[in-house]
Amino acid sequence: MKRFRIVVAVLVAFAVAVPFVVAPLVETQAQPKTKPTAKPKPAEADHAEMQEEHKAAEVEHEHWLKEISKWKSEHLRTLATLAKIQAVLLEHEAVLEEHAEHVRVHDRHLLDHELEIAEHEEGGGGETHAELAEKHKEFEGEHAETRKAHEEFERQHATEMDDVKKLLESLGGSE
């Protein structure tokens, strides 16, 4: 049965192919013969030309492979650089968290100072007005330092984000 299917498949393929093979032969015989316009090249010359083209292609392939190798090396260096950038950004993230904690501590000092002022106004035993004024002066100094640090972080962050945006745009990406 299997052999029968194969024979049928071959016959069907032959039947389909016959018109494509026979028709051009019939057309060729019906047309008058003309002289060829160009001399056919001898096989050796044709082969030599093919071999020259192969040599040229090999040279081009070698060049392409050298370029690809160079590009792959550059990609690996870029990935290493990206890892360094990631490490720097993670370090910056840690510094930002330290800054946030400093702001939280400073905010607790503010609340503590508010409580001390309220206690003093209620006549409770605690610090004198002069001591409260001195603490407030210290608070204002801390606040000025915290503001200055925050403004520096703000400038640095804006610069970093602008650089990242430019890099993404140059690579055809988006934020």
User: In this predicted model, what pLDDT tens digit does every residue of 10-56 receive, in sequence order?
Assistant: 444 544 444 554 455 445 555 555 555 666 667 878 899 999 999 99
Specify the pTM.
Answer: 0.56
User: The domain containing residue 139 runs over which residues?
Assistant: 71-175
Where does the pLDDT of residue 127 fall: very low under 50, low under 70, confident under 90, or very high at 90 and above? confident
Structural domain total, the chain: 1
Q: Is residue 31 one of the residues assigned to a domain?
A: no
Render the burial of 55-94: b for 16+ CB within 10 Å, e for the rest: eeeeeeeeeeeeeeeeeeeeeeeeeeeeeeeeeeeeeeee
- The answer to whether residue 28 is domain-embedded is no
| Alpha-carbon gap, residue 154 to 152, rounded angstroms | 5
